[in-house]
């Protein structure tokens, strides 16, 4: 339950506020406005002008409070990323959910988190001493509770000099994925495959030069992926097929 609402006008003020106990940054508020027994305060980030999206060289810089829909509507966005954002949430949710809030609230079934990890997105954090830190998304997601203590995500940087693909298998086109795969290739040959559909964070299956052995890497990454939705054996087969489909 939200007991106190702050809407700071500066990043410094916001960082001072989130240093207080039980005080959380609020993006779109979809998760934070749900019923909870815990009493907590929120710091709404909407007045901080952190919602810009701009291309700098071969990087797309996305402000933390940009909505999923604003990112989806960005000119020249890769089709793979558009597909993952559309699979993440319906239009109403996309209009409210922020990119940072979605990543922090994500689990292994989030198409957006899977795609961001395949793109090896860089996350910019600001701490309560106003110091900036850059961290790759794959280092943040599994440890997000620890890494985000008294810190704000201010920006997500996505490389644009890549080719990428997103494929998934679900019970229906709009349902959560049982297995999803995102693949990115850089012009120098670096190939990065990330799988999702289970667990608390996406799984990095491959990051190396070229795509040799991609099916084996996909199977290996899903070796313990059994849950109520599917067995690991089924996911291993599907993951290998989706990896090939992404490559094609």
Ligand X SMILES: Cc1cc2nc3c(=O)[nH]c(=O)nc-3n(C[C@H](O)[C@H](O)[C@H](O)COP(=O)(O)OP(=O)(O)OC[C@H]3O[C@@H](n4cnc5c(N)ncnc54)[C@H](O)[C@@H]3O)c2cc1C
Q: How far is the CB of 35 from ligand X (least distance, A)?
A: 9
Q: How far is the CB of 223 from ligand X (least distance, A)?
A: 28
Q: What residues contact residue 131 under an 8 Å CB cut-off, 6+ apart?
A: none
State which residue, 104 or 217, has the beta carbon closest to ligand X.
Answer: 104
Residue 41 burial (C-beta neighbours within 10 Å; 0-12, 13-18, 19+): middle
CA 58 vs CA 61, 103, 133, 159, 161: distances in Å? 10, 22, 20, 6, 6
Of the ranges 75-83, 89-97, 158-166, 223-231, which one interacts with ligand X (CB under 6 A)? 89-97
State which residue, 84 or 242, has the beta carbon closest to ligand X.
Answer: 84
**64 contacts ligand X (rule: CB under 6 A):** yes
State which residue, 59 or 96, has the beta carbon closest to ligand X.
Answer: 96
- In the complex, residue closest to ligand X by CB: 101
Considering only residues 153 to 182 of the shown chain, the ones binding ligand X according to CB under 6 A are 153
Considering only residues 7 to 26 of the shown chain, the ones binding ligand X according to CB under 6 A are 24-26
Q: What residues contact residue 248 under an 8 Å CB cut-off, 6+ apart?
A: none
Residue 233 phi/psi, 5-degree rounding, is -60, -45
**140 contacts ligand X (rule: CB under 6 A):** no
3-state secondary structure of 49: coil
Considering only residues 102 to 121 of the shown chain, the ones binding ligand X according to CB under 6 A are 102, 104-105
**Type and span of the H or E element at 3:** strand 2-6
Q: How far is the CB of 50 from ligand X (least distance, A)?
A: 7
State which residue, 141 or 205, has the beta carbon closest to ligand X.
Answer: 141
Of 244, 232, 179, the closest CA to residue 206 belongs to 244
| Cα–Cα distance, 84 to 81 (Å, whole number) | 5
State the residues that interact with ligand X by CB under 6 A.
24-32, 34, 45, 64, 88-89, 93, 96-98, 100-102, 104-105, 148, 152-153
């Amino acid at each position: 339950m939200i007991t106190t609402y702050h809407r700071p006008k500066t990043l410094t003020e916001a960082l001072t506020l989130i240093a207080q106990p039980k005080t959380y940054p609020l993006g779109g508020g979809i998760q934070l406005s749900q019923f909870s027994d815990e009493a907590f305060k929120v710091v709404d980030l909407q007045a901080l002008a952190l919602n810009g999206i701009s291309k700098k060289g071969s990087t797309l810089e996305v402000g933390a409070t940009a909505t999923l829909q604003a990112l989806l509507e960005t000119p020249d966005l890769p089709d793979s990323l558009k597909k993952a954002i559309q699979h993440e949430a319906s239009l109403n949710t996309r209009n409210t959910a922020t990119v940072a809030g979605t990543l922090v609230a994500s689990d292994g079934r989030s198409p957006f988190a899977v795609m961001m990890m395949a793109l090896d997105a860089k996350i910019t954090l600001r701490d309560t001493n106003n110091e900036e830190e850059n961290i790759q998304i794959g280092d943040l997601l599994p440890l997000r509770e620890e890494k985000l203590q008294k810190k704000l995500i201010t920006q997500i940087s996505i490389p644009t000099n890549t080719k990428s693909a997103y494929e998934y298998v679900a019970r229906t086109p709009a349902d959560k994925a049982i297995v999803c795969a995102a693949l990115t290739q850089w012009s120098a040959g670096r190939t990065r495959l990330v799988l999702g559909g289970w667990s608390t964070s996406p799984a990095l299956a491959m990051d190396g030069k070229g795509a040799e052995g991609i099916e084996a890497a996909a199977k290996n990454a899903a070796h313990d992926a059994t849950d109520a939705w599917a067995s690991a054996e089924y996911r291993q087969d599907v993951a290998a097929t989706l990896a090939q489909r992404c490559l094609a």
